[in-house]
A and B are shown apart, each in its own frame.
Chain A
Amino acid sequence: MNNIFKIIFSTSFGYAILRVTTPILFSGLGAVISDKAGVINIALEGTMLTSALTGVIVSALTQSTFFGVIAAILSGIFVSLLLSYFSLNLKTDIVLTGIAINLLASGGTIFILYLVAHDKGISTSLNSKVIPNVTIPLLNKIPILGPILSGHNILTYLSWISVAIVYILLYKTPLGVRIRAVGENPEAAESVGINVNKIRYIALCISCILASFGGAYMSMGYVSWFSTNMTSGRGFIALAAEAMGKGNPVGTLLTSLLFGFAGALSNNLQSLRIPSEFVQMIPYLATIVGLVIYSIRKTNMLKYKKEVQNA
């Protein structure tokens, strides 16, 4: 027990939380945007996986981190177009299409990995690049906070900035007002001349771009290689984070941190003598517990109202 507390109350654990949070936060923000537009993006998981592999391959081929990241994002946009075309133009069910894309990404990445790296498990034979970490001057001098907040991957900082960007996009721009209108009452939006499908295309596209940053981070920051199904459900955890964060960018940041905590805990506890299967369960358990707490709070609020009324 003591060991566990020692782990949790160390600055390196704080650092680890933020490190683990990054991909969930990116995808969670992606889920915020698509949900606000009234289109559920189940394909976040597949998008992350696709861009994780694309980033590794292209950075290895071009020997450029920059091109690797750009290619990762382009692959994310490609996935979003696929999803949008089928669900918006051909009117397939968006959830089923999302699942199909996830399955395609899961198998497809292994296939391409094998073609390129001649290995079905891991891309270590490719000399791929990583996105650098940065030390933030001054901040790194502050005790406790410094080691937790400084020295992260560029994309980790970008994910924090994205919270503000998504917030501004949704609440301070014309596009944001339209996205919210389309999600809530598409007929109303259409009746004032808004092209509903176009807005949904854009929303899914932004959503997938955010997820592909998360994917690029996985294979070019979190670790420096691609391995099969390396996102292991983070796209779905992100959906839960978004739901618990009530579809709000800041709320999603907080819930993502919660899942980051659970993830970091599970990573660290693997060094102790606790069955690893149990430890790996923690993030998913946290998802369920989180959702339960959320709904209990909602019911309590209703009960509270009742008491106020009867008083």
Chain B
Amino acid sequence: MKNEILRMENITKIYSNGITANKGVYFSICESEIHALVGENGAGKSTLMKILFGLEQPDDGEIYLNNSRISITSPSLAIKNGIGMVHQHFMLVPSLTVAENVVLGLEPRNKGFFDYKKAVAITEELAQKYNLFVDPNSIVEDLPVGMKQKIEILKALYRGAKILILDEPTAVLTPQETVELFNQLMHLKNSGHTIIFISHKLNEVKQISDRVTIMRNGRNVGVFNTSDVSENDISRLMVGRDVVFKLDKNIKKLGKTILNVKNLNYTSETGKKVLKNISFSVRGGEILGIAGVEGNGQRELVEIITGLRNYYEGEIVIDNIRINNLSIKEIRELGTSHIPEDRMVYGVAAQGTIEENIISDRFYKKELNHRILMNIKKVSDISKDLIKEYKIKCSSSKQKVSMLSGGNIQKVVVAREFSSNPKLLIADQPTRGIDIGATEFIHKKIIQLRDSGTAILLVSADLNEILEVSDSLIVMYGGEIVAYFDDTANVTEEELGMYMLGLKRQSHDEIGRVIYE
């Protein structure tokens, strides 16, 4: 065994609302290892890491760095001690450039002025050294998530981090980006860095980590050499029961066409053709998956169908109504639900309570109002039922959403969108950041909705999810539909990969089969 570099002992954290997120946690990591930290949503992983990074103060417990006790009362102290963190929700300033973001807080100076050229040089040099290629001069808000993540890692490295905390880094990455990230992590490990890696994807944990610490209900329930435990062992320890990875699906009864997209073309603000001649339909009782590497037009497609984006060419019909000139609210009134890709931007109002977020799509409806006043009791009853049904971990239905753990925030979104009896559900990465138990639950819910006749469009960067859940699927590449499979059961991951990378494409007629009237 290698040398222990850092140890947290007996850490207890009680948040001001009374939730005990960590109970006497012991956590230890060694030099140049990749140490996975796993546990269900709300198990206390992020909290433990926030304590290590000085963002939260523990109510009890000690931290030892190289066997000497340290106290970390602020992120700057953590940074001084060589600890860096890449947060579950990115901490970047969108309007600044990559180089400015990397050096923020520790800016190179030249006679008192900000030395931007030096900042660019520093970024380039770090990028070279650690194989994390980014363009130092691009503005961060225009970049894809994979790139943002690299910037976050560079930020930590620039500050001299030897211990790097990555909170669910792969939740937002495509399989290709994940492979790239893992190569970079191995590179970092070999250059003497220690990495703490939080993930809900146990295959990744198996693949990349040397050791794994499992948390449950705020406690450390075990530390193992990763090679000694199987995925099933880990999930049993996390959830306390076996998790079924296979879904059993009923035979479907197809209804009429609910969503019809005809010859959709879209050019982005920057003049790039993002969607080219997209046509497809989804019928009631059907789950159509959209596979594809992120950035091939899926996001724009979803935003257009849900009304978040305008000014496109072509026609979109939901339940026989043309929605081109309808507002988001009118589109929702047609029975459309939307689980957005980015929960913090479009999914929730983080400063609002769980209740407020749950009724945000229905607050004006008759059943929630007494004449001009809101029916407060009804609102809280609905919310409490959903909290129970979706096992949202919280202190009460009046808790602020920003105080929930990442996975529980996602559950709030899912609960709202599933409970409005949708005719059409657009689910964009519905299980991002959600633990395996809850993922299983959400998949079952999706299938249940399908069986009740809802048309479902499922977008996911997770191939397993697409292959397991959807009935039929299309593949998008370069803004086009390049393949259609009417039965997912006959598709292999390898085959899908060929289409996703643009190495293969089907004929026009084959793709045309995805259009019904």
Contact = CB atoms under 8 A, between A and B. Distances in A.
Binding partners A and B: yes
Interface of A: 168, 172-174, 176-178, 180-181, 184-185, 187-194, 305-306, 309-310
Interface of B: 53, 55, 74-76, 79, 85, 87, 90-96, 100, 104-107, 109, 112-114, 155, 159, 266-267, 269, 310-313
A180 B96 contact: yes
A58 B104 CA distance: 42
Contacts of A310: 311, 313
A178 B113 contact: no
B267 to A, nearest CB: 5
B87 A191 contact: yes
Q: Which 10 A-B pairs have the closest CB atoms?
A: A193-B76, A192-B105, A188-B91, A174-B107, A306-B311, A191-B91, A181-B93, A194-B105, A174-B114, A185-B93
A193 B77 CA distance: 8
Contacts of B90: 188
Given A173-B114, A309-B267, 5 more contacts: A172-B114, A180-B96, A184-B93, A189-B105, A306-B310
A193 B79 contact: yes
Contact of A309 (B75, B87, B312): B312
A184 B85 contact: no
Contacts of B85: 191
A278 B120 CA distance: 56
A177 B119 CA distance: 12
B310 A185 contact: no
A164 to B, nearest CB: 14
A309 B266 CA distance: 8
Contact of A190 (B75, B269, B313): B75
B113 to A, nearest CB: 5
Interface centre among B55, B113, B155, B266 (most CB of A within 10 A): B113
B79 A188 contact: no
Nearest to A187: B91
5 contacts: A181-B96, A188-B93, A192-B91, A193-B105, A306-B310
Nearest to B108: A174
Contacts of A306: 310-311
B310 A188 contact: no
A192 B86 CA distance: 11
A281 B403 CA distance: 49
A172 B115 CA distance: 8
A173 B94 CA distance: 19
B93 A180 contact: yes
A48 B428 CA distance: 52
Contacts of B91: 185, 187-188, 191-192
Contacts of A191: 53, 55, 75, 85, 87, 91
Contact of B105 (A178, A184, A309): A178
A234 to B, nearest CB: 30
Contacts of B112: 173
